[in-house]
């Protein structure tokens, strides 16, 4: 959510930020609505003052026996009272218009975010690992002999429809091991607080984390009004909604492993093979709530946390800084980590690490009290995948594939797999 006061003070800068995202200028329209709102409030205050003044004179006129003045003043009080009510209602209408419009405007990009239209204009900032050089034709994850029988799309489709999968046996265990490895690393090495969070949330939580009103079609809503979380960013971030935190308690760093649900409304026909793009998936999320002065450094820290997981797993990746045209609605700056997938012969996103500045904090009124006792300020919020479990499974399987259809698994997973390091072509661990 943008600050209308900042828009009034620097309308050109606001419109310039919108232009960087490819959007039309909106400052004039916003300022006009805000001026109408403020005008109604001022008029209501003036009418209230006149009502109060007349009210004080009514008694005096009655006491003086001036019946005509008494009736005039009483009528004036009633008139002003009605005017105050009408003007306040008009102000509420204008305020609602303003709030709704502000809620649909994307965050302003940070100054270092490159201009661009789509993913082709993203800026590569890091390349890690050696892409495997197989002496055979690489297969996609679902084509591997040791995987095919345990990655059941047909049964999942019978139960739930397209874009679902049923993992079985060793593949299900590897998937679970990856999630456990990620959570343990974040808790034991990265000093994040593990949270077991709800996956059903109210409108307020979705709105506060900028998923509503603009992206309601991308999520699932239950018949009684709850939303299935698109990511645990929603409950983790909204956990500080309405709070005034002590500065000494910042930063707050959290992680959660949850199911996530997305309708994929805008991705018809994309990634229909395999489990790359599903309606239901699992993700380990990282969320930080920070002092504004620390948010840029915190984003780099979170990015390093996510990258370290892929490095421990031996999965080659590249990190890109998203351009203005590819960046998410609420983000001020986003780094994507893309894992190498031999079966597709390309890098694919496995994590996004974003800072929203105070964009979400304004929507959910999350603030902190400075140590010096000054006025409460909005916190900054950040979120990042650490990592998408299903996509990480794909990367591990494809990069570890052998010519016979077996898979060499990362050594760091052995403690979670009973010491086993290979998924055989027969689908069994050894």
The verdict on whether 352 is a catalytic residue reads yes
Nearest Cα neighbor of 261 from 244, 247, 278, 285 is 278
pLDDT at 267 (0 to 100):
64
Supply the pLDDT for residue 215: 87
Share of the chain above pLDDT 70, in %: 99
Catalytic-role residue among 72, 277, 348, 362:
277
The parts of the chain modelled with pLDDT lower than 50 are none
Supply the pLDDT for residue 136.
96
Query: Quick one: how far is CA 33 from the chain centroid?
Result: 28
Other beta carbons within 10 Å of 402: 17
Catalytic residue of the set 79, 119, 264, 349: 349
Beta bridge partners of 367: 244, 378
Spot the catalytic one: 20, 21, 253, 262.
Answer: 262
Q: What is the pLDDT of residues 36-59, one digit of tens each?
A: 999 999 999 999 999 999 888 888
Give catalytic status of residue 202 as yes or no: no
Average pLDDT of the residues of the chain:
96
Q: Using an 8 Å Cβ cutoff, are 386 and 313 in contact?
A: no
Q: Is 262 a known active-site residue?
A: yes
- Annotated active-site residue 349? The verdict is yes
Q: Could you say which of 352, 354, 385, 406 is catalytic?
A: 352
Q: How far apart are CA 333 and CA 29, in angstroms?
A: 26
Phi and psi based region of residue 377 (left: phi greater than 0; alpha: psi -120 to 50; beta: remaining): beta
> Which of 360, 334, 357, 355 has its CA nearest to residue 237?
360
CA 402 and chain centroid, separation: 38
Q: Which is catalytic among the residues 282, 391, 398, 406?
A: 391
Task: Give yes or no for a contact between 263 and 387, defined as CB atoms under 8 angstroms apart.
Answer: no
Predicted confidence at residue 427, as pLDDT, reads: 96
Report the distance separating Cα 330 and Cα 343, nearest Å.
32
Digit-coded pLDDT (tens) for 100-132: 999 999 999 999 999 999 999 999 999 999 999
* Rounded distance between C-alpha atoms, residue 249 and residue 368, angstroms: 9
Yes or no: say if 35 and 41 are a contact pair by the CB < 8 Å rule: no
28-36, long-range: CB < 8 A, 24+ apart: 29/101, 30/4, 30/98, 30/101, 30/102, 31/7, 33/94, 33/97, 33/98, 33/101, 34/4, 34/7, 34/8, 34/94, 34/98, 36/94
DSSP of 78-94, one letter per residue?
A: HHHHHHHHHHHHHHHHH
The C-alpha angle with vertex 10 and arms to 8 and 15, in degrees rounded to 5, equals 100
């Amino acid at each position: 959510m943008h600050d209308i006061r900042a828009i009034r003070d620097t309308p050109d800068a606001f419109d310039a930020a919108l232009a960087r995202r490819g959007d039309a200028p909106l400052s004039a329209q916003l300022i006009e609505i805000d001026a109408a709102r403020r005008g109604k409030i001022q008029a209501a205050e003036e009418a209230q003052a006149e009502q109060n003044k007349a009210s004080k004179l009514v008694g005096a006129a009655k006491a003086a026996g001036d019946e005509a003045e008494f009736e005039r003043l009483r009528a004036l009080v009633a008139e002003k009272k009605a005017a105050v009510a009408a003007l306040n209602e008009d102000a509420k209408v204008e305020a609602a218009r303003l709030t709704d419009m502000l809620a649909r405007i994307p965050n302003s990009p940070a100054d270092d975010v490159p201009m661009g239209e789509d993913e082709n204009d993203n800026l590569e900032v890091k390349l890690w690992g050696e892409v495997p050089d197989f002496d055979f034709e690489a297969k996609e994850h679902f084509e591997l002999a040791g995987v095919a029988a345990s990655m059941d799309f047909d049964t999942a489709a019978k139960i739930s429809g397209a874009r679902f999968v049923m993992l079985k046996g060793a593949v299900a265990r590897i998937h679970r091991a990856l999630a456990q490895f990620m959570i343990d690393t974040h808790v034991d090495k990265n000093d994040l607080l593990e949270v077991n969070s709800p996956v059903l949330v109210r409108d307020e939580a979705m709105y506060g984390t900028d998923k509503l009103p603009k992206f309601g079609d991308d999520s699932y809503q239950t018949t009684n009004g709850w939303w299935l979380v698109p990511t645990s960013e929603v409950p983790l971030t909204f956990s500080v909604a309405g709070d005034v935190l002590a500065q000494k308690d910042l930063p707050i760093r959290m992680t959660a492993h949850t199911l996530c649900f997305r309708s994929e409304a805008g991705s018809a026909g994309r990634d229909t093979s395999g489990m790359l793009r599903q309606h239901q998936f699992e993700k380990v999320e990282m969320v930080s709530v920070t002092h504004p002065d620390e948010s840029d450094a915190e984003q780099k820290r979170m990015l390093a946390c996510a990258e370290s997981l892929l490095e421990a797993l031996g999965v080659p990746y590249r990190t890109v800084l998203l351009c203005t045209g590819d960046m998410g609605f609420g983000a001020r700056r986003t780094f994507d980590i893309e894992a190498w997938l031999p079966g597709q012969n390309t890098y694919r996103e496995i994590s996004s690490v974003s800072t929203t500045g105070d964009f979400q904090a304004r929507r959910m009124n999350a603030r902190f009290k400075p140590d010096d006792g000054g006025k409460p300020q909005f916190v900054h919020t950040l979120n990042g995948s650490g990592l998408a479990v299903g996509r990480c499974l794909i990367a591990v399987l494809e990069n570890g594939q052998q010519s016979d259809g077996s898979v060499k698994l990362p050594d760091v997973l052995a403690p979670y797999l009973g010491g086993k390091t290979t998924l055989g072509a027969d689908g069994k661990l050894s």
